[in-house]
């Protein structure tokens, strides 16, 4: 039987999954603009404008993935389709919800795993915690939650800012972030689809939590450019959004994706990930 994936908010991470799926899968992806819909169609995915006038076809959908961020009024997908999804819970082979490691809150650089109590300190983290609970509350839904660390990949790395001189090494003593390359997100999602474990929660991150200024410095070294200026966090001009990321510091464990899903990370640290991005840029220029 042909498998059908319905991808709500078909963005950066979901797009990386599609090439890994068997060629006979049907993939439907929602987006908010006609321009993005055209880009989705070019990858072989059937685009739908949502929110919009398009009907969302749940008939025949075997796999459901949502990347849509919640807001203060709740999860947009559940606000619109909770009853339909709940009524069809036994229809799905697998449901994936992309969340964030922000649900753990601040741990002063300490380690967290999937069993760590959720104590988000940011507004976005609290919205995510509530959305996870909303999805978990649907009886019989084969739900898998993926808590993503900071995502990077092609077109989403530090090289452009280092090249154009806008990169900064913002230093907050003790601050560390965990990261994940988008290709590793994709392989975890595929492994979970192949080995469903309803109710499972997985942290998606690499093996090397690191201070953000070290990543910027390494990118500059790879490019052979001067190190961007080092600026103390308290003196840095930042948007409220950017500043909020520095409100929490933690190291995220990823043992479960390795032990349960057999994952060997393609990019176990930012050094290997950035080197691959730079190499791919060079190949694209040929």
* Assigned domain for 169 exists: yes
Q: What is the pLDDT of residue 286?
A: 39
Residue 215 lies in a domain: yes
Rounded CA gap, 111 and 108, in Å? 9
Cα–Cα distance between 227 and 11 in angstroms, integer? Answer: 32
> At 194, which CATH number?
3.40.50.720
Question: Could you say which residues of the chain have pLDDT below 50?
Answer: 284-286
Q: What is the pLDDT of residue 30?
A: 96
Domain-located, residue 4: no
Summarised one tens digit per residue, pLDDT across range 177-200 is: 999 999 999 999 999 999 999 999
Measured between alpha carbons, how far is 18 from 26 in angstroms, rounded to an integer? 10
Sign of torsion, CA 103 205 40 198?
A: negative
Which residue's structure tokens are 């154009």? 164
Count the domains in the chain. Answer: 1
5 belongs to a structural domain: no
pTM across the whole model: 0.95
**Tell me, what's the pLDDT at 2?**
87
41 in any annotated domain: no
Query: Would residue 23 count as lying in a domain?
Result: no
Q: Considering the domain boundaries, does residue 13 fall inside one?
A: no
Predicted confidence at residue 285, as pLDDT, reads 44
| Enclosing domain of residue 164 | 68-285
């Amino acid at each position: 039987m042909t498998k059908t994936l319905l991808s709500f908010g078909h963005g950066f991470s979901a797009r990386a999954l599609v090439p890994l799926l068997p060629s006979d899968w049907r993939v439907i992806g929602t987006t908010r603009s006609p321009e993005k819909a055209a880009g989705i169609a070019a990858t072989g995915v059937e685009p739908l404008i949502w929110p919009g006038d398009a009907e969302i076809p749940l008939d025949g959908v075997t796999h459901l993935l949502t990347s849509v961020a919640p807001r203060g009024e709740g999860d947009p997908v559940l606000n619109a389709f909770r009853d339909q999804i709940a009524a069809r819970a036994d229809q799905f082979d697998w449901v994936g919800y992309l969340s964030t490691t922000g649900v753990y809150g601040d741990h002063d650089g300490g380690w967290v795993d999937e069993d760590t109590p959720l104590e988000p300190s940011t507004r976005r983290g609290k919205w995510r915690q509530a959305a996870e609970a909303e999805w978990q509350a649907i009886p019989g839904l084969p739900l898998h939650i993926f808590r993503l660390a900071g995502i990077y990949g092609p077109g989403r790395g530090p090289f452009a800012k280092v090249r154009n001189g806008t990169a900064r090494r913002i230093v907050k003593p003790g601050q560390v972030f965990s990261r994940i390359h988008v290709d590793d997100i994709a392989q975890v999602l595929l492994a979970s689809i192949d080995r469903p474990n309803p109710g499972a929660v997985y942290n998606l991150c690499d093996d090397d939590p690191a201070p953000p200024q070290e990543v910027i410095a390494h990118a500059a070294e790879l490019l052979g450019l001067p190190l961007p200026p080092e600026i103390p966090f308290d003196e840095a001009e930042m948007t409220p959004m950017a500043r909020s990321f520095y409100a929490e510091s933690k190291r995220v464990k990823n043992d479960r994706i390795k032990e349960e899903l057999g994952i060997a990370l393609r990019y176990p640290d930012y050094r290997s990930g950035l080197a691959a991005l730079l190499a791919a840029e060079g190949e694209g220029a040929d």
